Structure 1
């Protein structure tokens, strides 16, 4: 009698484990849960992405990636953060050429 109840439950559990999960490849597992209120020097930042419901995240925010590969979550409404985003976009449109160093004569 217990086998009649237990067997269908075991089969259901096995089926759920074997079926591919929807949205596993979604970046939602890498969502910011809160944002920092600190200003970020634009020189530290190499890229950014926007997260929100369209990416599977509850919180709408900007995620900066620093040159040291750290992730920093910030509010999109902050004027200082908007300035950092504009600088990154300008840099992408017009990549600055590194100034040539003057070579010393020996």
Structure 2
């Protein structure tokens, strides 16, 4: 298992979730949890993955996601068991859409 952590600054879209509500999207090989958190305007992403050695690919996928959504004060946890980058991107978008009702 490998754990990767990313943090992005200068987001401009804040999610407002009721207390204790977490957006969850999952499939057979990927789970995304998203929650509001006081992060001084940042967006933090933690990835736990069984596919070791793909940090650069994760960086690209997560950076692309942040460019689309520009989230602030949001924490995202990804539990991965070998999803492809396209599936990761889709599930991330679905997680945000599940709590905002908006598309990127």
Instruction: Mark yes or no: TM-score above 0.5.
Output: no
| Structure ranking higher in helix proportion | 1
- Of structures 1 and 2, the one with the larger relative CO (CA 8 A, separation 6+) is 2
Counting strand residues as a fraction of each chain, which structure ranks higher? 2
Q: Which bin holds the TM-score, normalised by the shorter protein?
A: under 0.3
Q: Which has the larger radius of gyration?
A: 1
